[in-house]
Structure 1
Amino acid sequence: MVGGRARSAAPRDLAEDPQDWPHAELTGHPAAAVVQKIAATLAGILAERRLSLRGLAATSGVNRQSIADLLAGRSWPDVATIALLEAALAVRLWPEGTPAHR
């Protein structure tokens, strides 16, 4: 598996309280922190625009379940997924800089 054991657990499972995803505390997991920021940003945009997962899937070409899994922290999204979502929404989802270590 690309990424080795680092991706054997879902991003949300690396949080101190997975039920609080995407706002849960993450310590020492920079990749999971990036996914968390992407999920939080995407959730905010969907709410702000009142856009459904089905609507975003139709616009972006990304499978609805893939979007749901990203939002829930159940998957590690690939670059193509993020690029397609960014293009469809005309926003940057990938966070600036690197995740802060706490």
Structure 2
Amino acid sequence: MVGGRARSAAPRDLAENPQAWPHADLSGHPPAAVVQAIAASLTGILAERRLSLRGLAAASGVNRQSIADLLVGRSWPDVATIALLETALAVRLWPEGTPAF
């Protein structure tokens, strides 16, 4: 697996309180914190625009289940997924001031 064992656990499982996702403390896990920030931003955008997962999947070409897994912290999204979502929504999801790992 690309990234080795660093991604053997889901991002949410690296939080002390996974139930707090997407607002859990992940200060000791910078890559998981980036995924969490993306999930939190995406959750807000979907709610603000009243856009369903099915609608975003159709607009972006990203599988609906992949979007759902990202939102709940079950997966490590790849660059292509983030790029497709950002393009479809015309927003930046990658958090400002965060290095690209």
Under a length normalisation based on structure 2, what TM-score does the superposition of the two structures give?
A: 0.95
2:15 aligned partner: 15
Identity, % of aligned pairs? 89
Residues in 2 aligned to 1:77 and 1:65: alpha-carbon distance in whole angstroms:
12
Residues in 2 aligned to 1:83 and 1:18: alpha-carbon distance in whole angstroms:
26
The alpha-carbon deviation at position 98 of structure 1 amounts to: 2.2
The alpha-carbon deviation at position 26 of structure 1 amounts to: 1.1
**2:63 counterpart of 1:63:** yes
1:33 aligned partner: 33
Q: Which amino acid aligns with 1:13?
A: D
Which structure 2 residues correspond to residues 62-101 of structure 1 after superposition, within 5 A?
62-98=62-98
How well do the aligned residues superpose, as a CA RMSD in angstroms? Answer: 0.9
CA offsets 1:19-78 (integer angstroms, 9 cap, x no match): 110011113100000000000000000000000000000000000000000000000000
Structure 2 gap segments, 5+ residues each: none
Number of aligned residues: 99
Under a length normalisation based on structure 1, what TM-score does the superposition of the two structures give?
A: 0.94
